[in-house]
Amino acid sequence: MTDRDLCFFHDPEHAREAAEARHLGGLRRKRETITSAVYGFEDLRTSEGILRLLQIAATDTLAMDNSIARSRTLTYIANVAARAVQGLVLEERLQALEEALGSRLKKPGGRT
């Protein structure tokens, strides 16, 4: 469309497609907001968000009928959750060590 004076969203020849694209974008944002509210899930950028998603996945999987796939999924979720919790524990321990050592971590001359 580089040979046109108007962009996709303002070109009258594409008005119907542009309206549909806007509609679908709005539905996606609405669905994302509703899903986040229903599940109490915000994002994957925090440890709490990751653990919440694992909790949702485990709860939904537990509600399924017994099967090999269900067992494998639960085992996988448990493995990932264990690693996530281990990472949180290590992060907390490192932070406690850094606080305990305080100024001893900083070397003369502004180097760490």
pLDDT at residue 8, as a whole number: 66
Q: Look at the pTM and tell me if it is higher than 0.85.
A: no
- Model confidence pLDDT, tens digit, residues 15-56: 787 777 666 666 566 666 676 776 677 777 888 888 888 999
Q: Which amino acid is at 77?
A: I
Give the chain's mean pLDDT: 80
pLDDT at residue 29, as a whole number: 65
Helix ranges, 5-67 (H): 15-39, 47-62
Handedness of CA 46, 49, 55, 56 (dihedral sign): negative
